[in-house]
Structure formats: C-alpha cells, structure tokens
C-alpha cells in the first residue's frame, strides 16, 4: 500500500507541494502517468474469466456446467468429481496438469481417466501398480521398468488398458550359441532352447540336436551347443 505523509507530500491540482520544490510540468506528466497505467493494468488483470460451457466426463457420468474457473482440480471438485492421486485429466483428449490453469481453447471438455490396477509378474516377483496410462508399455515405463525389443511382455506393450489386468514381464538374457566352429551371441526371452534357436535363425532341422535339448528351458550359464546331423544315402552296386 502507498501511504502519503502530510508533512512530506501534498497533492494539489497544479503540482506536488512538500519539503521539496514543485517539479516542472513536463516532469509532472511523467510522474503521474505511471500510477495511472498501473491502476489500469491492475483493473484489466483482475477482470474475471468469461463463463463458458465445460463438459466433464467421469466414466459413464457426464456433467455440463457454466463456469469461469480454469483449474481442472477446482472444476472437478466443485462439481462433485473427486480425482485420486494416480488419475489423470484430459483436455479435449490431450493430457494436461490437474493443478494448473487450462490453456486458451474454444471448447472445454475435461475427461477424468481413472487409474486401474496393473499386476506385473516378473522374475523379481509380483508387483501391483495403480496406473491411468493408455497402454501397457506406457504403464511399465511410468512404473520404472525398462525393456528392449528382445524382452517379452504379455500382453504386448501396445495393448490398450481399459480395465485392470495382469502382465508378464520376462527380460531377455544373454545367450551364446555354438554351431560347429561358429559362435553367435544373442539376447532372448524365449521359454525354451528351441524357441531361442528359432529366433536366432538357426532352428534344428531333421536329426539335429542341441545341448540342452530343444524343449528344455534356457540354461543357467546361457550356453547352447548345436550339433548338425547330416544324413546321406549311398548306393552300392553288387554283382549277382
């Protein structure tokens, strides 16, 4: 607040009279112009937002209200919609922060995407996470999981989340495959030796065999040996 002391400043119609001399008239315009501008800016900034129609979608419930409020969290709670910590808000289909004013837009449709439970089964055990992500891959990333194209996600990463579901995450392992004198290093999350060999492009054919055997689980040391078996038919003529 601006406090004017009578002993130091007196405003008259012509000039400022106080302990100092009156400034020239051209200086008076410059001095008095800033408070007038500040007041105008303050009044403009304090003008309320014009009420507009806001559509709020919460699952199967739809609310249509007139409001000048622009912060999603306040808009939702004012209309009886209580978001939970892991829910997310969409403005016209695009995620926006729940606690910040909405950007300028011609229409306002707020959708509250409720979190569901994603049960993740991995070699480290079972973990339940609450997520409002759109896909399995997005949910896993947000939960701190990192995976590559060689890892196995069931259902796949691009699967859309519409309800609670279980996900099996099998990270790929380093494998070394010996085929004769050739050595091949790969990463695989296959369930059996045969599946890993097929992924590597060296499936067992005919009488070929492997160690461990084709239907066995991947070995703990990650080493697989392939033995190629070649069949030949020889014809010998024998005189009678």
69-100 pLDDT tens trace? 999 999 999 999 999 999 999 999 999 999 99
pTM of the model: 0.66
* pLDDT confidence band for 215 (50 / 70 / 90): very high
The larger pLDDT score, comparing residue 127 to residue 32, is at 127
Res 41 pLDDT > 60: no
pLDDT of 148-181, one tens digit each?
Answer: 889 999 999 999 999 999 999 999 999 999 998 9
| % of the chain beyond a pLDDT of 90 | 63
DSSP 8-state secondary structure symbol assigned to residue 135: B
Helices (H), the chain: 25-45, 72-78, 136-142, 193-199
Please tell me the predicted confidence (pLDDT) of residue 2: 39
Residue 25 in this model has a pLDDT that exceeds 80: no
Which CA distances in Å does 20 have to 3, 32, 54, 76, 150?
Answer: 18, 17, 58, 57, 82
């Amino acid at each position: 607040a601006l406090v004017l002391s009578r002993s130091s400043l007196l405003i008259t119609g012509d000039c400022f009279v106080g302990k100092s001399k009156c400034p020239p008239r051209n200086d008076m315009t410059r001095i008095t112009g800033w408070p007038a501008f500040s007041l105008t800016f303050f009044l403009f900034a304090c003008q309320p937002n014009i009420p507009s129609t806001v559509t709020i979608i919460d699952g199967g419930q739809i609310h249509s209200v007139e409001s000048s409020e622009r912060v999603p969290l306040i808009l939702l709670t004012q209309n009886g919609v209580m978001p939970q910590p892991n829910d997310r808000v969409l403005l016209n289909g695009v995620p926006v922060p729940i606690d910040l004013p909405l950007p300028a837009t011609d229409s306002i449709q707020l959708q509250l995407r409720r979190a569901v439970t994603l049960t993740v089964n991995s070699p480290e055990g079972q973990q339940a996470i609450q997520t409002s992500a759109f896909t399995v891959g997005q949910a896993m990333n947000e939960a701190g999981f990192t995976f590559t194209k060689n890892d196995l996600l069931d259902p796949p990463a691009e699967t859309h989340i519409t309800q609670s579901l279980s996900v099996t995450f099998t990270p790929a392992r380093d494998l070394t495959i010996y085929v004769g004198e050739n050595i091949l290093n790969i990463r695989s999350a296959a369930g059996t030796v045969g599946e890993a060999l097929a992924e590597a492009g060296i499936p067992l054919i005919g009488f070929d065999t492997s160690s461990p055997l084709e239907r066995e689980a991947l070995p703990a040391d990650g080493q697989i040996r392939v033995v190629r078996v070649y069949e030949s038919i020889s014809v010998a003529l024998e005189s009678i």
